[in-house]
Structure 1
């Protein structure tokens, strides 16, 4: 007899790494105007873990996330989602990988104002011609506390509630990995803490994988692991971080 319940996590293929990079370099411009944003970075983002990426302004943290997420091309080396080498894909294939395997949460909520919260949550799946798993949708909506707000449009929601919609939208397709770029940047501290707790709980309780770029030591303390970049290279790593331990590392950068 099956032991699956309404709240169980949709099955994912077994893998140690949800995404990663090997000797990844990203260079912008040429000649004297050339900027090396990433300099031979190698990193793995393990499945069912919450990883934060930190570093001073211009360190390459957002560039790393964008390259591994398939939002930007690489100049050298490789970036992978699961076992798929992104540089080997054409634009159509890359779009499909992002749509089917990746969830995104950005600082801007990126909600359509004419759609309800429920319609915004399910929009990516509707565009892909897929029906959401109703039990999983209900689980995600309950997890982010939106069950009573699904009929509301973005203008009728607070900033924190709008970001909850964005988090639910990222979770509902059960992606292999979620990339979050400063997801609490437009929120007050209380709403930001709620979003970070949702992301952390999605890892611990729902088996999700989250990679988050942040400049905030408190936000980073919600993660299982923090990697630090400076001048386009990984310089340090913390496991089970606290805000204080993150601050100690950040002080070395003079920030």
Structure 2
């Protein structure tokens, strides 16, 4: 569990425009007796310059929703959009380009290359794409995540928290339209986790970034502007201005329902 700062602040320059949108989105695995419905006609919008947390019991579909919205998994039916781009039906090449140009990713595993220093890891996706980094933006990102003094260090010379900050900076450096984070503090101690959550919070407030984060931790969720709750592949609640206590109470209600069902 992480200690929240003064609470999530209103996102800077927030608008009603959706950075990503799911409409009647379903994801089914298997057939016949082995059929599993991971997502059941989910409709949700993730607004620009807003920090959204996705929560729910194990197996509720929260990671599946994020993976479908990020173009990492195909949908069975319905629609998934990033901005004005419909993901369903895109070729593998177009999907790869979309993920490279419009989406930032942060995972529980830091996914840094050990032979590259922090700066090289941050700019790697742009280097692969043959794009030159916007130096002013890169400097802003590095400053925001507090890595200015660590850019020449390799991953094995950095703490876990610092490595995840490199991953955050890498996701931000390409100016993505939306950033998806899957349990980004799962491998971190409380202090490092709180730092990374603070950086995600600041990227929304100060840089106007859009962040969608899957988490199981009510305190981590309290850094968000909004929490979307899933159960059995469906959205069952949408909480604005969450607090850790309010999120915890909602999760306890899920547990109680599960024990009585």
TM-score, scaled to structure 1:
0.94
Give the match for residue 247 of structure 1: 248
Partner secondary structure for residue 39 of structure 1: strand
| Map of 1:11 onto structure 2 | none
- String of CA shifts for 1:34-89, please: whole Å, max 9, x gaps: 00000000000000000000000000000000000000000000101001000131
Q: Determine the structure 1 residue equivalent to 2:33.
A: 32
Q: Report the Cα distance in structure 2 between the residues aligned to 1:118 and 1:92, rounded to whole angstroms.
A: 27
- The alpha-carbon deviation at position 115 of structure 1 amounts to 0.2
**Which residue of the partner structure matches residue 56 of structure 1?**
57
What CA deviation, in whole Å up to 9, does each residue of 1:170-195 have, x standing for no partner? 00011000000000000000000000
**2:253 & 2:236 partners in 1: Cα distance?**
11
8 Å Cα contact 1:224-1:239 kept in structure 2: yes
Q: State the secondary structure of the residue aligned to 1:170.
A: helix
Quote how far apart the aligned CAs of 1:252 are: 1.1
Aligned to 2:43: 42
Give the aligned partner of residue 99 of structure 2.
Answer: 98
Aligned counterparts, 1:107-122, within 5 A: 107-122=108-123
- SS of 1:36's partner is strand
Report what 2:69 is aligned to.
Answer: 68
Q: Could you tell me how far apart the structure 1 residues matched to 2:16 and 2:176 are? A: 14
Corresponding residue for 1:222? 223
Residues in 2 aligned to 1:87 and 1:25: alpha-carbon distance in whole angstroms: 12
Name stretches of at least 5 consecutive residues in structure 2 with no aligned partner.
Answer: 1-14, 257-261
Equivalent in the alignment of 1:165: 166
- Provide the residue aligned with 2:88 in structure 1: 87
Note if contact 1:15-1:82 (Cα within 8 Å) is conserved in structure 2.
Answer: no
Q: What TM-score does the superposition give when structure 2 sets the normalisation length?
A: 0.92
* Cα distance in 2 for residues equivalent to 1:49 and 1:15: 10
RMSD: 1.0
Aligned mates of 1:145, 1:48 — CA distance in 2: 21
Distance in 1 (CA, whole Å) between partners of 2:208 and 2:112 is 25
Runs of 4+ in 1 over 4 A off after TM superposition: none
Unaligned runs of 5+ in 1: 1-13
Once residues 88 and 16 of structure 1 are traced to their aligned partners in structure 2, the CA distance between those partners, rounded to angstroms, is 23
Specify the SS of the correspondent of 2:148. coil
Distance, in Å, in 2 between the alignment partners of 1:201 and 1:209 is 11
- Equivalent residue runs for 1:191-230 within 5 Å: 191-230=192-231
Specify the alignment match of 1:190 in structure 2.
Answer: 191
| Corresponding residue for residue 177 of structure 2 | 176
Residue correspondences, number: 242
State the distance in 2 between where 1:157 and 1:15 align. 39
